[in-house]
Amino acid sequence: METIQLTKNMPVSSFHNFADDCIGTGRMGLALQRQYQEQLRLVQEKIGFKYIRGHGLFSDDMAIYQEYEDETGQKVAEYNFTYLDMVMDFYQEVGIKPYLELGFMPQKLASGDQTVFYWQGNVTPPRSYEGWCQLVQATLQHLITRYGRAEVVTWPVEVWNEPNLPGFWQDADMTEYFKLFKETFLAVKAVDDQFKVGGPAICGVDDVNWLQQFMAFCHEEQLAIDTVTRHFYTISDPETAGHYSYVTLREARESLTELEISRSIIDDYPEYRGLPMHITEFNTSYRPDSPLHDTNLNAAYIAQLLSRLGETSASYSYWTFGDIFEEMGVPFTPFHGGFGLVANGNIPKPTFWTFAFYKKLQKNCLYKGEHGLVTSDGKERFAGIFWNLTAEAMSFQLDFPEEVEKWCITSEVVDQQTANPLQSWHDLGEPANLSAEQRALLQQIAQPKVTTTVTSDSYSFTVQPHGVHYFEARPRKQTSDRGYDYQRVLAGR
C-alpha cells in the first residue's frame, strides 16, 4: 500500500496537461457520415477536445480540386467547397476546430499514381507547385470568408503526413519534402502571417536524421516555423493473423526517450528553442487492427503516457477519436482493434475514460508517481488518477489535510470488471453486427462504476489489474431537512 500525504501548504508544480488539446480522425471525407458525427458528438460531450487532425483534406472524395478545359483546350483549375463546408460546419456544431494537415494530392494535380490505404490517397508530389500553392491558398481564403479571419488563423497548419515513409510520400524523398514544405509554408503565410505552420509530421522511422535535417533546412532557409510536429507509437513486432494484428507494448519510459531526443534537436537552435512540439499522432499500436486498442490495458497505459507527455510536448493527439475508419478497409466487427476511443455502435472503449478523467484534473500538481497523480484547484478540491499496468491489484491511501472535518469522495473506476465492453461483446459470442438490444447493453456496460464515500481523514482504494481509477474529493457539509434522519432510514424504522 502506497500512502500519499496531502497537506494544506505542500509544494505544488503546475501540471502541463494537454490531454484535451487535439484528437485524431479518419480521413476528412468520413466526417460527412452520420455515425462518424455521432461518435465525435459523444466524444465532445464527455471529453471536449479543442482540435481535430486527420488526413485527406485534398483527397478526391472531398472533391475540392477540379479542372476543366477552356475554349482553347487549356486545363483550368476550379475549386469545389461543398463537402468541405459540410465538414467544417459540423466541426463548429460540436465545438471543435480543425488542425489542418495539408494533404494528400488530388489525382488531377498529382505527378504520379502511387496511393496509400484502402481509400487510395495519392502520395506523390504535385505536378505543379504553383497549382498546389493556389489550391492551399484558395482553400484558406474560402475558410476565412466563411468562418471569419479571427477564427481561421487559430487553426494550426501542418504540411503533409509522415514523409519519412515511402508509403506516405513517394520514395520518402527528403529533398522533395523540404521543397513542398517551404513552398507551402510561404504560401500559407502569404494568406495570413498569423497562421501557425509546422512540420515535418514524421513518424519514428529514421526520425532523428529527418528531424536534424529538417531543422537544419529551416535554419538555413530562415523559415520562422511555428511548431515542430512528429508522431509517437509505443509497440513493436506486430504479428498478423486474418484481419488482426497482435502486438507487444514497449516500456513507456523507453518510448518517451524518443521525444526527449526530438526536443533537444529542436532546442539546439537558438531561434527554435522552446518552440512548441506537437505530437500530431500517438497511440500504442500504429495499426488499426490491433485488439489491444479495445482493452483496459490500453486505457491504463495511455493514463501513464498522459501524465508524462506534457513534459516535452505542447500537444499530443490520440490517434483517433472513433472507429469509422477505412485505412485497411471497412471493419468487419464493432470491436476490431481500431484506433478509436469509441467503437462502432457508439460504445466508449476503456481509453475513452482515461481522457475523460484527465479532462477533469485540476491545475496544480501535488503528486506525480509511476502509478498515479494528484492535483488540486489550490483550494479545498482534489482530483487524481491512478492506474495499474501490472497483473496484480495495487492499493493506495491518500491522507487529506486536517483542516476539513469531512470529505465527500466521488470515484470512477474502469477496469476488467467494469467498463469492459470488449469482454461482454466476447461473452455475447463476438457478433459482427450488433442488434439494437446488444448495442444498448454494451453502451451501458461501457460506463465506469461511480461511487461516493464519506471520510474524515484518508481515502484508501485498490486499483485492479489494468484498471484506471479517478477520484475527486471535496469538503462535505451536511444540511439535513427538518426531521430527516439517515441513520433511522438505514435502520428501516
Q: Does 393 bind a copy of itself (CB under 8 A)?
A: no
Is 294 a residue that touches a copy of itself (CB under 8 A)?
yes
Torsion angle of C-alpha atoms 73, 79, 83, 86, degrees rounded to 10? -160
Task: Please report whether residue 482 would count as binding a copy of itself according to CB under 8 A.
Answer: yes
Q: Which of 101, 158, 258, 281 is catalytic?
A: 281
The residue (of 174 and 473) whose beta carbon lies closer to a copy of itself is: 473
Least distance to a copy of itself, CB of residue 362, Å = 15
* Minimum CB distance to a copy of itself smaller for 207 or for 323: 323
Residue 22's beta-bridge partner residues? 51
Q: How many residues bind a copy of itself (CB under 8 A)?
A: 82
- Show the cell assigned to 443: 453502451
Indicate the helix (H) or strand (E) that contains 396: strand 394-399
**Least distance (Å) between residue 484 CB and a copy of itself:** 6
- Residue 137 or residue 212: which is nearer to a copy of itself going by CB? 137
CB of 135 to a copy of itself, least distance (A): 16
For cell 460504445, name the residue: 347
Site for a copy of itself in 406-425 (CB under 8 A): 408, 410, 417-418, 422-424
Q: Does 37 bind a copy of itself (CB under 8 A)?
A: yes
The catalytic residue among 162, 258, 412, 472 is 162
Angle formed at CA 348 by CA 446 and CA 398, multiple of 5 degrees:
65
Cβ closest to a copy of itself, residue 269 vs residue 332? 332
Residue 427 touches a copy of itself, criterion: CB under 8 A: yes
Could you give the angle at which helices 129-147 and 82-93 cross, rounded to 10 degrees? 50
- The owner of cell 503533409 is 160
Give the start-end residues of each E strand in 400-467.
Answer: 407-414, 449-455, 458-463
Closest residue by Cα to residue 167 from 217, 221, 114: 114
Task: Name which position in 14, 128, 431, 456 contacts a copy of itself (CB under 8 A).
Answer: 431
Positions 108 through 147 that interact with a copy of itself (CB under 8 A)? 142, 146
Task: Please state the φ and ψ torsions of residue 290, each to the nearest 5 degrees.
Answer: -105, 105
Question: Which positions from 165 through 224 interact with a copy of itself, judged by CB under 8 A?
Answer: none
Which residue in 154, 390, 444, 460 binds a copy of itself (CB under 8 A)? 444
How far is residue 254's CA from residue 386's CA, in Å, rounded to a whole number?
20
**Residues composing the chain:** 493
Binding flag, residue 344, a copy of itself (CB under 8 A): yes
397 binds a copy of itself (CB under 8 A): no
Q: Report the alpha-carbon angle 269-270-275, nearest 5.
A: 80
Question: With binding defined as CB under 8 A, does residue 249 bind a copy of itself?
Answer: yes
Tracing cell 479543442 back to the chain, one arrives at 50
Nearest one of 265, 268, 365 to 310, comparing CA atoms: 365
**Is 258 part of the annotated catalytic residue set?**
no
Whole-angstrom distance, CA of residue 351 vs CA of residue 343: 11
Q: For a copy of itself, which residue of 330, 390, 395, 460 counts as binding (CB under 8 A)?
A: 330
Q: Can you tell me whether residue 420 is helix, strand or coil?
A: coil
What is the rounded distance in angstroms from the CA atom of residue 18 to the CA atom of residue 310? 6
Residue 452 binds a copy of itself (CB under 8 A):
yes
107 binds a copy of itself (CB under 8 A): no
CB distance 316 to 282 below 8 Å: yes
Instruction: Show contacts with a copy of itself in window 76-95 (CB under 8 A).
Output: 78, 80-83, 85-86, 89-90
Asked about 412 being catalytic, the answer comes back as no
Question: By C-beta, is 165 or 249 nearer to a copy of itself?
Answer: 249
Chosen residue from 295, 315, 346, 351 binding a copy of itself by CB under 8 A? 295
d(CA 268, CA 429): 55
With CB under 8 A as the contact rule, the residue among 1, 11, 68, 71 that binds a copy of itself is 68
Q: How far apart are the C-alpha atoms of 236 and 162, rounded to whole Å?
A: 18
User: Using the rule CB under 8 A, is 243 a contact of a copy of itself?
Assistant: yes
Q: Does 331 bind a copy of itself (CB under 8 A)?
A: yes
Q: Which of 69, 193, 392, 481 binds a copy of itself (CB under 8 A)?
A: 481
Q: Which residues are catalytic?
A: 162, 281
